[in-house]
Amino acid sequence: MTMISKNYDVRELVPPEIYNRFGPDSVRYVRQDVVDFLEWISDYLKVHVIVNNWHFFLTNPEPTGKEEWFLNGHIYKNSGFRMPDCPEGANLSQHKFKDAIDCKASGFETGTIRGIVIENFESLKERFGVSTIEIDTPTWDHVSFCLTGLDHLLLLPYK
């Protein structure tokens, strides 16, 4: 385990290609404000918000009391930082600049985190640099921390 905060392992925010190459030094592909936001939203919901879960399947091929990690059996590995050549998402996705995460919270519907971000935007922008969300995403809530030059939350359609 390579913990980078109270509740988050670096592997939850980087793909296996990065972690396998850099190990604990993979933290350089993670923004501190993103980790701080994840801690905040997890405390708010009182559940561990999942970005990537690929590392959990390496040691737990079957549910063992942490079923929230399994999210209907889907393995997520590109919901945090993405490699520049990753075919998932847009060519210039904010994920490739470590400016975006796709969040999933076991027991909560897609859109829950999006709604919390909308409701608390002013404080989240000031505390963590939250700037953008995607709307109508199918199974995750996309939150971006990129500079927009706007004083309001940017709502992007999911493509």
In the three-class reduction of DSSP (H, G, I as helix; E, B as strand; rest coil), residue 142 is classed as: strand
What does the pLDDT look like over 59-103, one tens digit per residue? 655 555 555 556 667 889 999 999 999 999 999 999 999 999 999
What's the CA gap between 93 and 16, in Å, rounded? 19
What's the CA gap between 89 and 112, in Å, rounded? 22
Q: Which helix (H) or strand (E) holds 119?
A: helix 112-119
* Average pLDDT of the chain, as a whole number: 91
Let me know: does 90 contact 146? Beta carbons within 8 Å: no
Rounded to two decimals, the pTM is: 0.92
* 91 CB burial (10 A radius; 0-12, 13-18, 19+): exposed
What does the pLDDT look like over 99-145, one tens digit per residue? 999 999 989 999 999 999 999 999 999 999 999 999 999 999 999 99
* Parallel/antiparallel/unpaired status of strands 154-157 and 132-135: parallel
Q: Which helix (H) or strand (E) holds 16?
A: helix 16-22
Q: Which phi and psi angles does 26 have, rounded to 5°?
A: -60, -15
Domain ranges of the chain: 10-157
Let me know: does 127 contact 40? Beta carbons within 8 Å: yes
Q: How many whole angstroms from its chain centre is CA 42? A: 11
What's the CA gap between 14 and 110, in Å, rounded? 22
Calculate helix-pair angle for 112-119, 121-128, nearest 10 degrees.
Answer: 90
